[in-house]
Amino acid sequence: MSASASSAPAAIQRALISVSDKTGIAEFAKSLAGMNVELISTGGTSKALRDAGLKVKDISELTGFPEIMDGRVKTLHPKVHGGLLYRRDLPAHLAQAKEHGILPIDLVVVNLYPFEQTIAKGGVTPEEAIEQIDIGGPSMIRSAAKNWESVTVITDPSDYTAVLRELRAMGNTTRPTRLRLASKVFALTSRYDGAICAYLESLGEGDAPQTVSVSGALKQALRYGENPHQKGAAIYALPGFNEPSVAGGKQVWGKEVGFNNVLDLNTAFEIVKEFSTPAVSVVKHNNPCGVATSDTLINAYLEAYAGDPLSAFGGVLGMNRPLTLDIAEAILGASGFKVDAIVAPSITPDALQALTTKKKWGANVIVIEAGSLEKFKRSNNGGAHSAQYRDIRTIPGGILVQSPDVSLWEEEFANLKTVTKRAPTAAELDALKFSWIVCKHVKSNAIVLAKGCSVVGVGAGQMSRVDSVEIAIKKAGDRAKDTVLASDAFFPFPDGPEAAARAGVTAIIQPGGSVKDKEVIETCDRFNVAMVMTGVRHFRH
């Protein structure tokens, strides 16, 4: 163990402060000055501290070199990094510091240029984004964190109070505090670099990158994983992703969220984000059992719930409009119905009060506000995901990475090909488009039966496509008559369409591409079923 590890450093004499987030910095710096700590600063931070009445030494005065290139070069200097990195317990380091006039910097207060916030705004040019890539900041905090035995480094304004408490008590920070703060540095720089890497990769041609950076900030610990014995479950927020979502949402009521709750809530919300008209989804075990769109949200809810009331019990509701009192009362009015969780852009206070007090289950119902959809672009799958977002899944010893299944519905629907003798009617075509959108969110093999813009039967996750068809028909019961059917992938045999036709399905939408397409089409013609092909598959495993 080094001498600095076994004995406390001397009192802090000198602090270097350079922050983009100036929350509380003037008050913090005043406290430091009151303890006779010399303040060194840069650019806008220096001005802010002077405006607060503090005496500040500019970084150029410390280094003897001016800030140049529009501030791109100002802290990358031996007198800065030497002051941070030299070991106070090594005579050779002390001698070299004295020889070169390097003064110790005992405290570094730095937070980085707001790169993530910049790229999340939308419409930002690459040039604007690149200017928000911090170079000096990460270098300084990494230097300070490497020498944490002697140097305290703060990157988060929430740590000001704890640091000041220790400084007032002993003139310096404790070793555990310095270690904790140093650990935060490398978590921050890892995430920061990951966001930059992902952004720059997104500017490329879409080929698989040589490396993949995945860095998330802990947002919320979860009760447990998919099963109670799976521990360490949590949500981590990915950098640069700023659209309305469950991951970025706010829990306003309910019990501690579980892993499965998050998966179901995410599916429920991603479905309704697809639609510009009022939409409600009911999700159970990560598959929709009811989805509907309508002229009003309450009508959409009533139709979605009617899709499969038995499966809806204990399910998750997703909405693309604010949850208001009339919707809450409709939910509460369903006899024997219980909701585990709800996600909506927002919820009104009276709706929240009604949901959480009028039924026994209301005390625990999870309610998530996912954020306003008013400015959410609906050009792709209800809106274009952030450019650097990737679909990432893990397997033992590796990760699988792909672009998200962002669907250009207008493009897909513009290229629909009628392959049967009978073309779908206008009403059938609207229902086919609706069922096709919903089908993307059902586990493969996926079949969706719809009547108008309401789901009446779902078959999910079967090894045989005809089994999924038969499950959807069974779920629909008598309502299968005069419905349309969506299949996420082609029919390998004509048995699926035949079973659907015999149950009363009048039109089918599917990608096509099977060697049996001719037989499938002939079967549809035999039953006067209209069929259109999209040429696009939407597997979901």
**So which residues are the catalytic ones?**
146, 285
Q: Omega into 528 within 30° of 0, i.e. cis?
A: no
Q: Cβ distance 35 to 198 under 8 Å?
A: no
3-state secondary structure 385-427: CCCCCCEEEEECCEEEEECCCCCCHHHHHHCCEECCCCCCCHH
E strand map for 115-232: 152-154, 217-221
> Which residue, 105, 205, 194, 212, is CA-closest to 150?
105
For residue 484, the number of C-alpha atoms closer than 13 Å in the C-beta half-sphere is 30
Token pair of 142, please? Answer: 């990494």
3-state SS, residue 275: coil
For residue 377, the number of C-alpha atoms closer than 13 Å in the C-beta half-sphere is 11
- Going from the C-alpha of 368 to that of each of 233, 340, 496, the distances in angstroms are 18, 11, 39
Q: How many residues belong to the chain?
A: 541
CA distance 56 to 440: 59
CA distance 382 to 385: 9
Q: Cβ distance 247 to 238 under 8 Å?
A: yes
CA distance 222 to 247: 12
Q: Cβ distance 23 to 157 under 8 Å?
A: yes
Residue 53 contacts by C-beta under 8 Å, 6 or more apart in sequence? none
Encode burial over 195-206: b for 16+ CB neighbours within 10 A, e otherwise. Answer: bbbbbebbeeee
> Which residue, 344, 350, 305, is CA-closest to 325?
350
